[in-house]
Structure 1
Amino acid sequence: MAHETPRRRAHTYLSGLLFVVGVLHFVAPKLFDGIVPKQLPGEPRAYTYGSGVAELGVATALAVPRTRRFGGWLAAGLFVAVFPANVQMTVDVLGNPKSSPAFKAGVIARLPLQIPLIVAALRVARR
Structure 2
Amino acid sequence: MRRVRSSDLLAGLLAGAGAAHFLLPKQFDAIVPRRLPGSPRAWTYASAVVELALAAGIAVPRTRSRSATAAAAFFVAVVPANMKMAADWKDRPAPMRRAAQARVPLQIPLVLWARKVARDANR
One-letter amino acid of the counterpart of residue 121, structure 1: A
1:102 is aligned to 2:95: yes
| Aligned counterpart in structure 2 of residue 72 of structure 1, from 68, 84, 109 | 68
Matched, 1:56 2:49: no
Structure 1 gaps, min length 5: none
Give 1:19-58 correspondences, 5 Å limit: 19-58=15-54
* Cα RMSD, aligned residues only: 1.6
In structure 2, how many angstroms separate the alpha carbons of the residues matched to 1:59 and 1:114? Answer: 17
Shift of 1:78: 0.8
User: 1:91 pairs with 87, 103, 106, which one?
Assistant: 87
* Alpha-carbon distance in 2 for matches of 1:18, 1:115: 16
Q: Match of 2:95, as an amino acid?
A: A
Q: Deviations over 1:37-60 (max 9, x none)?
A: 011111101100100000000000
Give the secondary-structure state (helix, strand or coil) at the position aligned to 1:67: helix
- Match in the other structure for 1:126: 119
Distance 2:83 2:66 in 1: 27
**TM-score normalised by L of structure 1:** 0.88
TM-score normalised to structure 2 length: 0.91
Structure 1 stretches (4+) deviating beyond 3 angstroms? Answer: none
Equivalent position SS for 1:42: coil
The total of aligned residue pairs comes to: 120
Cα distance, 1:110 vs. partner? Answer: 2.3
Q: Distance in 1 between matches of 2:6 and 2:84?
A: 27
% identity of equivalent residues: 48
